[in-house]
Structure 1
Amino acid sequence: MNEDLSKNQPPSDEVDLGQLFNAIGRLFERFFRFIGSIFTAIFSVIIFILKVIIDNFKLIFAVLIGAFILGYFIERSQPVVYSSQLLVKPYFDSKYQLINNVNYFNTLIKTQGYEELSNVFKIPLESALELKSFEVKPGPESDNDKAKAYGNFLESIDTSSARTITYKEFIRNRDIYSSVIFEINVESTKKDIFKNLEEGLNRTFRNTYSERMKQRRDTLIAIQKSNILASLTSVDSLSKVYIAVLREESRKGATKISFGEGLSFEPESKSKTKEFELLEREIVLRNKLAKLDEMKVEEDSFFDVVSSFQEVGNITSKFKDRYTILFPLIGFLVLTIIFMIKRTIKYVRGYER
Structure 2
Amino acid sequence: MSKDLPQPQQSEEVDLGQLFKLIGNAFSNLFHSIGRLFNKLFLAFVWLVFFVKTHVLKLIIAGIVGVVLGIVLEKTSEAVYKSSITLKQNYDTGENLYNEINYYKNLIKQEDISTLENILGIKSDEAESILDFEIEPVISENEKLQEFDAYLKEIDTSLLETIEYKTFLNNSKDHDHQYQKITIKAEERKNFKKVFHKIITNINSNVYFKREQEKDLIELRERASAITKSLIKADTLLAVYQKAIVKSAENNNDFQGKINITTDKGRESSTKEFELYNKGLELRASLIEIEREIADKEYIIEITSSKQDSGTIDDKKELFDVMISPKRYYAIILIGLTFITLLSLRFVKFLERYKDKI
Rounded Cα–Cα distance in structure 2 between residues aligned with 1:40 and 1:174: 45
Quote the residue 1:209 is aligned against.
208
Deviation at 1:332, TM superposition (A): 3.7
Q: Which runs of 5+ in 1 are unaligned?
A: 256-265
Q: Which runs of 5+ in 2 are unaligned?
A: 260-270, 320-325
Inter-CA distance 180–335: structure 2 relative to 1 (3 Å threshold): same
Deviation at 1:178, TM superposition (A): 3.1
Inter-CA distance 90–53: structure 2 relative to 1 (3 Å threshold): closer
Deviation at 1:42, TM superposition (A): 4.8
Rounded Cα–Cα distance in structure 2 between residues aligned with 1:350 and 1:51: 28
Quote the residue 2:100 is aligned against.
101
Aligned letter for 1:283?
Answer: L
Task: Please report the TM-score for the alignment, with normalisation by the length of structure 2.
Answer: 0.74
Quote the residue 1:293 is aligned against.
291
Deviation at 1:339, TM superposition (A): 4.0
Q: 1:200 aligns with which of 184, 192, 198?
A: 198
Aligned letter for 2:357?
Answer: Y
Task: Please report the TM-score for the alignment, with normalisation by the length of structure 1.
Answer: 0.75
Rounded Cα–Cα distance in structure 2 between residues aligned with 1:74 and 1:34: 52
Deviation at 1:91, TM superposition (A): 0.9
The answer to whether the aligner puts 1:254 opposite 2:252 as a matched pair is yes
Q: 2:180 aligns with which of 164, 182, 189?
A: 182
SS in 1 for 2:184: strand
Quote the residue 2:147 is aligned against.
149
Quote the residue 2:350 is aligned against.
343
SS in 2 for 1:282: helix
Quote the residue 2:282 is aligned against.
284
Deviation at 1:82, TM superposition (A): 3.1
Deviation at 1:51, TM superposition (A): 7.9
SS in 2 for 1:201: helix
| Partners of 1:83 and 1:315 within 8 A in 2 | yes
Rounded Cα–Cα distance in structure 2 between residues aligned with 1:95 and 1:285: 34
Rounded Cα–Cα distance in structure 1 between residues aligned with 2:177 and 2:99: 15
SS in 2 for 1:351: coil
Deviation at 1:59, TM superposition (A): 11
Rounded Cα–Cα distance in structure 1 between residues aligned with 2:119 and 2:17: 85
Task: Give the % identical residues.
Answer: 25
Structure (1 or 2) with the larger CA radius of gyration:
1
Deviation at 1:340, TM superposition (A): 1.6
Equivalent residues in 2 for 1:51-62, closer than 5 Å = none
Deviation at 1:220, TM superposition (A): 0.1
Deviation at 1:89, TM superposition (A): 0.9
Deviation at 1:171, TM superposition (A): 4.8
Quote the residue 2:273 is aligned against.
275
- Could you give the per-residue CA deviations for residues 267-320 of structure 1, whole angstroms, max 9, x where no partner exists? x13469733333333332222222211211233212332221153314232246
| Partners of 1:138 and 1:179 within 8 A in 2 | yes
Rounded Cα–Cα distance in structure 2 between residues aligned with 1:17 and 1:299: 78
Number of equivalent positions:
330
Inter-CA distance 149–31: structure 2 relative to 1 (3 Å threshold): closer
| Partners of 1:67 and 1:331 within 8 A in 2 | no
Aligned letter for 1:334?
Answer: T
Deviation at 1:218, TM superposition (A): 0.7
The answer to whether the aligner puts 1:326 opposite 2:333 as a matched pair is yes
- Could you give the per-residue CA deviations for residues 244-287 of structure 1, whole angstroms, max 9, x where no partner exists? 54354344x114xxxxxxxxxx3x13469733333333332222
Deviation at 1:49, TM superposition (A): 7.0
Aligned letter for 2:195?
Answer: L
Root-mean-square deviation (Å): 3.9
